[in-house]
Structure 1
Amino acid sequence: MSLFSNDLSKEPVFDGIGYEPSFFSRKAMVATKTDYSKKKYGDVNKDTRKKILVLCTEERYMTMKNGKKFSTGNHPVETLVPILHFEQAGFEVDFYTPTGGTVKFEMWAMPYEDEHIGKILEKYNTQFSNPHSLRNFIADASKAYVDYVAVFIPGGHGAMIGLPENNDVKELIKWVVAEDKYMLAICHGPAALLSAAYGVGEDEFPYKGYKINSFPDEMDMTLPESGYQPGEMPWLYGEKLKQLGIEILNKKIAGDCHVDRKLITADSPLAADKFGKLCVEELLACEKSKMNNG
């Protein structure tokens, strides 16, 4: 069957509440396996057991301009492949959502034939069902921040729901910047950075002048054509980031990543493996530097 066979429907699939991508768009954009390739890293983090805070969405549905709901969440490849690399390098991960609600995944994008993804899904099943509450974490910040060396915000359109205007996310980002920690974000994940400017002037936006790779607005505007989404986007996050002074380097997706100081970004699921490796290399180099200077 041709990749773009006319036999595949372009009609979005109704799940009872909202719509999942059409069979046509899934054939073109959703893989059954990832390109994860295991890599051996140094032993810098073995004794320190540093952690990475993974901030996920607890929202399932995005209401499009026409009122129809798009069934979304975090993209499983963008979430789990980088974590495979974090673990390989000795970093532990803790999952958070804004209020402790269940982590929502784009289940229609799950690479069910990938054994590595299957194992990590099983390992973190309890955390996905019962993640930590960011609200409680921020309220108890005096003792909660100690172990985290980075915050990781996975992609999927779900990253645009509930995170960009969340005051607790804003406080988390303020801590990342103040303590010179790493911020890791892939695909639509950078949408959450908008929270740092929520309720304040654009001059206070900490990532003004930074450059990133992310999922481009130009592509989001084309997705309804293939039935990936049931209607036009309600808003465009890239447009808002640009207004705050961020430069988005890409207009297409090609699996590209970018490091700008301690902000590491990537454009799509195509970049998940490369992104994970790049993040680990940067984090290990930073930890090694601290040890040598300590």
Structure 2
Amino acid sequence: MPPMFKILVILTSHATAGGSGQATGLWLEEFTTPYYAFVDAGAQVDVASIAGGKVPIDPNSVAAEGKNPASVERFLKDAATRAKLDGSQKIDTLKSAGYDAVFMPGGHGTMWDLPASDRLAKLLTEAWGEGKVIAAVCHGPAGLVNAKDEKGQPLVAGRRAAAFTNTEEVAAGMDKTVPFALETRIRALGARYESGPDFQPFAVRDGRLVTGQNPASSEKVAELVLQAVRESAAGRH
């Protein structure tokens, strides 16, 4: 059977937090929980990154075996999916055509390379114009800052959106390290920014735009992405 739908996951390639030298990258559970939710729902999931090749994983997001969230434990035993992260496709080689959704997990690495990527901004702008679902969680919405809607306005402008809060950034001890405050930037772009209590699950869907606040929100984001993809697929048939 062919897959019911195709989802493109775009990850960070950035391994250090600014000039701190502190290791960062992808927050693993923000990838693994949605990834397995998508796969288990019958989706084909392709994994890409800004630079291609091996995706850096934030060491703080992986514990000893047996002490991780269920999706991370599943990933650690899943050689095929680990290989996707070791050999991710470079986004320069990809087009949004053929995908039903584009999803960006977080991790602090995203704050540096996602906003700086012209190719990512173009890919997301094209995907939105083609009627695709665009989604991100935690720091993943950093990838949305230069994406535009069909009118050439910031994609988040006038739309409900969530992202890692300024108070969460302070609590994480990263507010002086990140290149900008994500909540502040999303608000400045004209989003109708929404949030729940710090570090509690919170996600919003505004039509084809799905965003989540923090790592705890990844499961909820995955549910909303699947809901949005199914609705837009039904609308096309």
Category of TM-score, reference length = shorter chain: 0.7 to 0.9
> How large is the Cα RMSD of the aligned pairs?
2.3
Of 89-98 and 279-288, more deviation after overlay is shown by 279-288
The answer on 1:150 being equivalent to 2:101 is yes
Query: Alignment partner of 2:55: what SS?
Result: coil
- Which of 1 and 2 has greater Rg? 1
Query: Which of 52, 55, 75 matches 1:100?
Result: 52
Structure 1 position 237, deviation (Å): 2.0
Structure-1 residue corresponding to 2:218: 272
The answer on 1:249 being equivalent to 2:206 is no
Indicate how the Cα distance of structure 1 residues 125 and 262 shifts in structure 2: closer, same or farther if over 3 A, else same: same
Aligned mates of 1:51, 1:117 — CA distance in 2: 22
4+ aligned runs moved over 6 Å, structure 1: none
Query: Which of 121, 132, 157 matches 1:208?
Result: 157
Superposed CA deviations along residues 143-185 of structure 1, whole A, max 9, x for unmatched, are xx44210000001111112110211011111112110100010
Structure 1 position 276, deviation (Å): 1.7
Structure-1 residue corresponding to 2:24: 72
AA in 2 matched with 1:162: D
Aligned mates of 1:116, 1:75 — CA distance in 2: 12
Runs of at least 5 residues in structure 2 that lack an aligned partner in the other structure: none
AA in 2 matched with 1:125: R
AA in 2 matched with 1:281: Q
Q: Map 1:273-288 onto structure 2 (within 5 A).
A: 273-288=219-234
Q: TM-score under structure 2 normalisation? A: 0.87
Aligned mates of 2:54, 2:140 — CA distance in 1: 18
Q: TM-score under structure 1 normalisation? A: 0.71
Tell me the matched-pair count: 229
Structure 1 position 231, deviation (Å): 5.1
Q: Map 1:66-215 onto structure 2 (within 5 A).
A: 67-110=19-62, 112-113=65-66, 114=68, 116-121=71-76, 122-137=79-94, 141=95, 145-196=96-147, 204-215=153-164
Structure-1 residue corresponding to 2:8: 53
Structure 1 position 269, deviation (Å): 1.7
AA in 2 matched with 1:89: A
Aligned mates of 1:232, 1:128 — CA distance in 2: 26
Runs of at least 5 residues in structure 1 that lack an aligned partner in the other structure: 1-45, 198-202
Aligned mates of 1:116, 1:255 — CA distance in 2: 16
